[in-house]
Amino acid sequence: MRSFAITDSIRSYAVAHGTWHPEPVVRELQAETAELGDVAGMQIGDDQGQLLTMLTRLIGARRAVEVGTFTGYSSMCIARGLADGGSLLCCDVSEEWTQMGRRAWAAAGLADRIELRIAPALDTLRSLPATAHIDLAFIDADKPGYTAYWDELVPRVRPGGLLLADNVLWSGRIADPEATDENTNALRAFNDRVASDERVEAVVLTAFDGLTIARRR
């Protein structure tokens, strides 16, 4: 058993020893997001943000898609990792929350890499070319929609490309048989779908709130 409790101090230590440190525009966005109250918990942490940037760079991603943008921090992390000339398509339904992201993207000099579409994500995904042209996809949206997003994205991701899905362990409730709420059940169905999908090879990280990393065969 090699796991241990991750405290804020440990997380801060880890982030401090990574390459990408949160710049002032990130801290401003995080502070503005915190003012939203409990919903601010949907924002990823700096450690996960560093991982998103690293994965994007590792595969030389030029074309990325994000489903669920919230206030735009994860978008910044993906966008800064894109190869020259790369682009990120963000799918969300909230003008209010994503306006915060738009301001942060501009302040960080990333706005020219990011396209935001305010519409149901399934509509946006289905409007994309059916060819395998996406290098990286990140799903972090409504949990009942995960499987449908997955089914639209997998055929559009190139061989060797990555599909990432956040919150797949759902604060541990995923393994609690007494947890039968809609979100938990939806994530169980999604995890089963990924595990049985022969088009990908996948791992589930027991970090953050559970992160699936799947590589398109």
User: pLDDT at position 153, please?
Assistant: 98
Q: Are strands 63-67 and 134-139 parallel, antiparallel or unpaired?
A: parallel
Sign of CA dihedral 43, 80, 216, 91: positive
User: Treating both helix axes as pointing N-terminal to C-terminal, what angle do 24-34 and 95-107 enclose, rounded to 10 degrees?
Assistant: 160
Query: Which residue type is seen at 20?
Result: W
Q: Are strands 114-118 and 134-139 parallel, antiparallel or unpaired?
A: unpaired
- Report yes or no: 92 and 118 within 8 Å, Cβ to Cβ: yes
> For residue 63, with 0-12 CB atoms within 10 Å meaning exposed, 13-18 middle and 19 or more buried, which class applies?
buried
Write out the chain's pLDDT in tens, 217 residues: 567 888 999 999 999 999 999 899 999 999 999 999 999 999 999 999 999 999 999 999 999 999 999 999 999 999 999 999 999 999 999 999 999 999 999 999 999 999 999 999 999 999 999 999 999 999 999 999 999 999 999 999 999 999 999 999 999 999 999 999 999 999 999 999 999 999 999 999 999 999 999 999 9
- Report yes or no: 136 and 195 within 8 Å, Cβ to Cβ: no
> For residue 205, with 0-12 CB atoms within 10 Å meaning exposed, 13-18 middle and 19 or more buried, which class applies?
middle
- Report yes or no: 25 and 49 within 8 Å, Cβ to Cβ: no
pLDDT digits (tens, 9 = 90+) for 194-203: 999 999 999 9
User: pLDDT at position 1, please?
Assistant: 59
Give the C-alpha separation, 144 to 45, whole Å: 23
pTM of the model: 0.96
Domains in the chain, ordered, with CATH? Answer: 8-216 (3.40.50.150)
User: pLDDT at position 127, please?
Assistant: 98
